Amino acid sequence: MAETKEKSLSDEKPKPRVRPIVRLGIFLISHSFHVSVVCCTAGVLALFLLPVLAKNTYISENALMPGSASPMLSNQHVSDGNRLVKDLTNPNSKSSETGIESHKIIAQYMLDLGAEVSFHKFHPQMNQFHPLHFFSSPDSGKIQENYSCSSYGINTVGIIRAPRGDGKEAIVLVTPYNALKSGFGEALSLGIAYSVFSLLTQVTWLAKDIIWLVADSQYGEYAAVAAWLREYQTPKFSSLSTPNAEMCPDVNNLFELKGHSISGSKFSNSFRRAGTMAAALVLKVRDQNEQFEDTISIYAEASNGQMPNLDLINVVNYLAVHRQGLRVNVEKLWSLLNSSWLKSLGEIFESLAKVAKSLYPKWKFGIPATEYVEGTATLASSLYYQALGVPTGPHGAFRDYQVDAITLEISPKFSLDKVWRNDILLRGGRLIEGVIRSVNNLLEKFHQSFFLYLLTSPSKFVSVGVYMIAFALLIAPLPMVAASLYVDANSSSNCSKGDSSTPSAITDTDEHSIAIRSWRWLNSAKLVFIVHLWGAIVSLLPYFISQIPDCSPTTSFMIWVLLSILSLLTLNSVLASPLACAKATQEKEWALVKSVTISSVFIGLGLMSVINFATAEIGALLMVPMCLLAQPLKLDVRAGTLRSFCRMICNLVLGHIAFPPAAFFLLKGMLDGFGNANVGDFWMWVESLWAWNSATYLFIGMVELPCWVLCISILFHTC
Amino acid sequence: FDPIPSSNAKPPGVELWAVFDAPQHLIDALWKNLTHTLSGLFCASINFLESSTAYSAPEWSFPPASGKLRYGTLPREAVCTENLTPWLKLLPCRDKAGISMLLDRPSIYRGFYHSQRLHLTSTGSGSEGMDPGIILEQTLTVVLQPDSQRASLAHANEKHIQPSWSLSSIFGKQISGRCVLAETSNVYFLLDRGLVAELDHIHKENEKSEENVLISEKFWNNPSFELSAKPDRIFKEESSLLSKNASVLYKFEIEKYGESEPFDLGLFWKTPVVWLCQQAPLHANRFLMGSGNERGAIAISLKSTESSEGFMGSFFNDERCELRVDVFQVVPWYVKVYFHSLQVFVDQQPKAVSDIIEKIHVSPSKDKVSPGVMELVLTLPCSVSSAVLTIEFDKGFLHIDEYPPDANQGFDIPSAIVSFPNFHARMVFLENDSLNKSPLLSKFQEKSPVMSYTEVLLVPLTTPDFSMPYNVITITCTVFALYFGSLLNALRRRVAEEERFLKDK
């Protein structure tokens, strides 16, 4: 603002000496068009360059020492694990209806190892939309009245106390298990966990306690883990309204299992704890697999794009690749792998790198085109899942309590013979053992390596310092364009007025009119504020709509749209119209509106980049061109040149794409094909966003949607 | 109750408490001297207790109390061989002869638990019949697991027998003779009350023989187990009102054994026996609640142990049966406890604090000066099955040079002490005549309240990024440069004057 004032002053009476920083500002503002074009192109280009700029991961924390000890997991432990798998897949154990039998089996196995065992009963908590619960820490006090005995889950928890540890810290191993319809994979994951567990009861190097949580996944893996964590971290001591699960008959006979057992004291009804959690591993084994290799997939994204410390991923990757010979996968957008334009882009980068290398042999930044395509696909999915803000697995629950956690999904090449099964048990078990041993070595909590990063492959990452550049370039033009628009609007109206009025009048009204004119932007600011208010109302609406019983997603969506439009019209008529009409006659009004819009978008994007970078990046990709290009269609039509025609087309296209539902359908269509797109899908998607308390939802409702509405209103501005 | 675990089980780290017989104003200075002396003596960083943030002065949690007591703990101080060696040096024969020969370092540190303890009592002129001097009492408590084929245990369902052991198999050494300087040198072997009861039970079932086989001379070679050496004496505990079971103590005199015939006590099990040690009336457990770097809560949960339930019922039959529990908790100053937020839940029902707490003494922490101390006396109904105390805290910020080297691990809250003054840990033996001679046995007979310690808690605090001083310096310098530049500009320049200057031109 200071710069613009300076500029307006300098127009009136030329000064001989302007300070260089101001001069630079004026220069940038006066050439804002070129600057913004250059910056935006550079921003997009930098985004596509990220896979090339990715660095190799390295283990930053020296104390981890992965793989420095030879694995101790022997065939003895594997056969123990195998025994459990057999017992669990045995048809006898599945006979009971509630699956309590298999919980008993697991608990008995744990007890035989000398671990402390307890059951944790929980009622699955439906995710509900709480408008004020964004960013708030997870709390315990959601009391629901409609608990019944039929709907509860049982987590089986086994704890090994470190014989020489001080019991202050713990490592959590989670295996989701659905007792009712468990696949072979789940049983196998239990087998792996059990073989590791049986090893860990004997080792002497343990410094942290080990918690093995068999999460009852019949109500979803996340719900079970989250319920256990809630009880662990924020227990509720008073049970006033909730009927206790102890009243239910089934649960009671669960606790009868060990009257005679040797370690009777080791089993307890109450909830057991073990210190501060240092790290958590979620282990899954996928049932079917069509690949040719044993692979292991790492899922790391937690809610709102939070990532676990990179060292945890590094350790898993290092051990899996270099010790166990497993292939490590990170989620990719598969559809991008076959796209030809990416391939050609990669080839261009490759050839550029070759040229650079021939010029100066020390420049080695090129990567092969195929690697580039893969890197881009991984990066895109990394961005997408972070932007979505929905955790990709049960590990997300841990991140809410500042515990680093990842999900490992082993997908073996499928065959049923015993040798193969033993092999998977051995290698999977050794991998888990190695990771646990590394984390066990850790003196401090994970803090050395990165928390803000994007993965381009399991062993390559882009750190925050690099990927911020792309974003900063994208949003850099926004304040400049806003300033230049403001200056233009002010000065041009000045000129026009100055021409029309008589010289005598200038002297009287000059001061006054300047004062009025310089406050004119407040009107536009009011408009922008009203639209943002509307955005807030729109984002609150789904809460009320979800209260309506028996609504299909499509109808809900329709109601939402209708209510939104209605509220926009109401707000417009109540608040905006009387004043807006008076000022609407002024020319260049749209420029002011655009200027304020751009400023607000800049603020919104800047804030969002702190909360969830990926969302801000994707939002900036959509919104920045739209904001910068927006200009009343009438002006373009009137001008009739090729340039304005192009701009008009761009505007129309962007105006369609940037509408959140349209963007969603476009993305969905690109990924899954347009055939099965349904209007209700958007509603479902939005529902999942708010259920997970994703900040993306707020961003869409309060930044992107208002921005779109404002841009559209600029497009159709009557000037 | 069993006096051995009650008085010897200690939390990890160093615990030091001392009663000073000195004027009030000298006590703190004496405490500092003491910490430094001990630290030098035992190669441990006990001197960290010197700073006033580390120790506290409990009012009435410890029996001899009266404001002259100082108490401090260092939960992170690990015990190691370098601490054991000076401890052994205090013994007349070190570890060269006598019972202390057993203290083979690898086997001790292979154990599950070990603690060394030093108890100094100065007997002034006041005590009659003794010369003025200092009595030094050294205790080493070790929990060891007999070597056994644990792998084979996993498969055996019912049939496995608890591992047999002998001194040589546990410690890898045998005792060959006593230390010449020692007046008495005895090994005692205690059969726990629960075990005796269980053995009794088995015995009766098997043989239907006459009662009281246990104290008979042949007990050391009974159907359940066999001792490799013949005990010199057997003490049987007086069965008291509290429990029908009595523990049995065997005494072995080392004097009889020599180089040629080393003493190697062994125990060979014949039948599987399962027994439980007697537990304190309430099982104390402490944990942290909440997450994040801002605030949290400490919860101390007391759960009644099943073993004591029936016994409490039988003992307190009258109407208003109350269980008294003392809780003593020290929190470092950077964990800013809000004492008003103390909440009590009994049997999952919130209770008014004044109903449960009979007496409370709180000294709030002062930043960087003194820790917060909380002493509580709770009276719980005997039928209580669970009680929870919660108290909230804010996490404070430390100055950068107050962080320890491994600050990212978190900070420890020393363990709380939960004691039960209604219950006493002591053993009363039948033969009273010989007891006076043995200090160990007379120690057992002393009346002391049952104590238990809770876990040490690890609180993660916010830590600065220690590895980035460069960045900090750069940013600070930039900010300073900008600030001073603009400030000087604003001070130096006068707008009106400049304009006049321009016009003049």
Alpha-carbon distance B55 to nearest alpha carbon in chain A (angstroms): 21
A270/B contact by beta carbon, under 8 A: yes
CB contact under 8 A, A273 and B150: no
Higher pLDDT, A254 or A633: A633
User: Is the Cβ of B388 closer than 8 Å to some Cβ of chain A?
Assistant: yes
Residue B14: is its pLDDT beyond 80? Answer: yes
**Bridge partners of residue B424, in order along the sequence:** B449
Chain B residue numbers with beta carbons less than 8 Å from the beta carbon of A163 are 112
What are the chain A neighbours of B345 within 8 Å (beta carbons)? 237-238
Q: What is the CA radius of gyration of chain A?
A: 30
Question: Which of A60, A161, A166, A209 has the most B C-beta neighbours within 10 Å, making it the best mutation to test the interface with B?
Answer: A166
The predicted pLDDT at position A267 comes to 67
Amino acid, res. A553: P
Please tell me the predicted confidence (pLDDT) of residue B239: 59
Q: Is B290 on the interface with A (CB under 8 A)?
A: yes
Question: A273 to chain B, minimum CA–CA distance in Å?
Answer: 8
What pLDDT, on a 0 to 100 scale, did the predictor assign at position A42? 92
- Tens digits of residue pLDDT in B245-274: 667 777 777 777 777 777 777 777 777 777
Q: Which of A248-252, A316-320, B100-104, B151-155 has the lowest mean pLDDT?
A: B151-155
B285 touches chain A (CB under 8 A): yes
Which residues in chain B have their CB less than 8 angstroms from residue A452's CB? none
Window from A287-296, A365-374, B295-304 with minimum mean pLDDT:
A287-296
Query: Residue B123: exposed, middle, or buried by beta-carbon count in 10 A (0-12, 13-18, 19+)?
Result: middle
What is the C-alpha to C-alpha distance for residues A183 and A55, in angstroms, rounded to an integer?
39
Determine whether the interchain pair A238/B349 forms a contact, defined as Cβ–Cβ distance below 8 Å.
yes
Enter the pTM of the model: 0.84
Q: Which of A53-62, B256-265, B491-500 has the highest mean pLDDT?
A: A53-62
Q: What is the CATH number of domain A62-124+155-331+392-450?
A: 3.40.630.10
Task: Quote the pLDDT of residue B215.
Answer: 45
- Inter-chain CB proximity B410 and A275 less than 8 Å: no
More confident residue, A247 or A1: A247
**Neighboring chain A residues of B290 at a CB cutoff of 8 Å:** 137, 233-234
Question: With bands split at pLDDT 50, 70 and 90, how would you rate the model's confidence at A499?
Answer: very low
Most confident of A395-409, B101-115, B180-194: A395-409
Q: How many other C-beta atoms lie within 10 A of the C-beta of residue A714?
A: 23
A389: left (phi over 0), alpha (psi -120 to 50) or beta: left
Domain boundaries, chain A: 62-124+155-331+392-450, 479-492+516-715
The reply to whether B267 touches chain A by the CB within 8 Å rule is no
Find, in chain B, the residue whose alpha carbon is nearest to that of A74. B151
Report the residue of chain A nearest B13, measured CA to CA.
A166
pLDDT at A113 (0 to 100): 83
What single letter denotes the amino acid at residue B98?
G
HSE-up of A602 (CA within 13 Å, CB side)?
Answer: 19
Answer yes or no: is pLDDT of A297 > 80: yes
- The mean of the pLDDT values for chain A is 79
The answer to whether B236 and B430 are in contact (CB under 8 A) is yes
Contact B458 A169 (CB under 8 A): yes
pLDDT of A258: 46
B299 pLDDT higher than 50: yes
- Label residues B73-94 b or e (16+ Cβ within 10 Å = b): bbbbbebeeebbeebbeebebe
Confidence of residue A485 (pLDDT cuts 50, 70, 90): confident
Q: Please report the pLDDT score of residue A438 as a whole number.
A: 92
Under an 8 A CB cutoff, do A204 and B455 touch? no
B417: which strand partners? B328, B453
CA distance readout (Å), B8 to B81, B143, B457: 19, 11, 21
User: Is B470 touching A (CB cutoff 8 A)?
Assistant: no
Q: Which of B350, B410, B505 sits opposite A276 (nearest CB)?
A: B410
Average pLDDT rounded to a whole number, residues A375-382: 89
Enclosing H/E stretch for A374: helix A369-388
**3 state DSSP class of A112:** helix
B291 lies within 8 A of chain A by CB: yes
CB A171 within 8 A of CB A221: no
Give the separation between CA A233 and CA B296, rounded to whole angstroms: 10
CB atoms A276 and B458 under 8 Å: yes
Q: How large is the ipTM?
A: 0.82
pLDDT at residue number A493: 56
Contact B276 A264 (CB under 8 A): yes
Mark yes or no for CB contact A445/B408 under 8 Å: yes
The pLDDT-based confidence of B76 (bands split at 50, 70, 90) is: confident
- Most A-contacting residue of B15, B109, B269, B291 (CB-CB within 10 A), to test interface: B291
- What is the tens place of the pLDDT at every residue in B366-399? 888 888 888 888 888 877 788 888 999 999 888 8
Mean pLDDT, all residues of chain B: 76
Q: What is the phi/psi pair of residue A460, to 5°? A: -135, 145
Q: How far apart are CA B421 and CA B449, in angstroms?
A: 5
Nearest to A234 among B289, B388, B457 (CB): B289
Mean pLDDT of A50-62: 87
Mean pLDDT throughout A483-489? 84
Q: Say if CB A222 and CB A391 are below 8 A apart.
A: yes
Mutate to test the interface with B, among A237, A270, A311 (most CBs of B within 10 A): A237
Of the partner residues A238, A262, A273, the one whose CB lies closest to the CB of residue B350: A238
Asked whether the predicted pLDDT for residue A148 surpasses 90, the reply is: no
| Nearest-CA distance A490 → chain B (Å) | 24
Most A-contacting residue of B79, B160, B458, B468 (CB-CB within 10 A), to test interface:
B458
Tokens read off for A332: 């990719």
pLDDT of residue B56: 83
CA distance linking residue B253 with residue A628, whole number of Å:
96
- B294 to chain A: nearest residue by CA? A137
Q: Looking at the partner chain, which of A76, A163, A443 has a beta carbon nearest the beta carbon of B112?
A: A163
Decide if A465 touches B, using CB distance below 8 A. no
Of residues B153 and A674, more confidence is placed in A674
Closest CB to A237 among B150, B345, B505: B345
Within an 8 Å CB–CB cutoff, is residue B455 touching chain A?
A: yes
> What is the number of CB-based contacts under 8 A between chain A and chain B?
87
The residue of chain A nearest to residue B300, with distances taken between CA atoms, is: A237
What is the secondary structure of B79-107 as a DSSP string? Answer: --HHHHHHHHHTSTTTTTSGGGGG--HHH
B155 has pLDDT over 70: no
Task: Give the pLDDT of residue B219.
Answer: 52
The answer, yes or no, to whether residue B8 has pLDDT greater than 60, is yes
Which of A376-390, A687-701, B54-68, B145-159 is predicted least confidently?
B145-159
Residue A166 pLDDT class (50, 70, 90 cuts) = confident
Mind telling me how many Å the CA of B276 is from chain A's nearest CA? 8
Kindly state whether B501 is in contact with chain A, defined as any CB-CB distance less than 8 angstroms. no
- What local confidence, expressed as pLDDT, does residue B157 receive? 40
Q: Which chain B residue lies closest to A163 (C-alpha atoms)?
A: B112
**Inter-chain CB proximity B12 and A166 less than 8 Å:** yes
Q: Which residue from B154, B390, B406 is facing A80, i.e. has the nearest CB?
A: B154
Q: Is B458 on the interface with A (CB under 8 A)?
A: yes
- Nearest by CB to A445, from B276, B410, B467: name it: B410
A263/chain B closest Cα distance in angstroms: 9
Q: What is the pLDDT of residue A171?
A: 93
The one-letter code for the residue type at A703 is: V
User: For the residues A100-120, what does the mean pLDDT come to?
Assistant: 82
Q: For residue A170, which of A179, A180, A160 has the smallest C-alpha distance?
A: A160
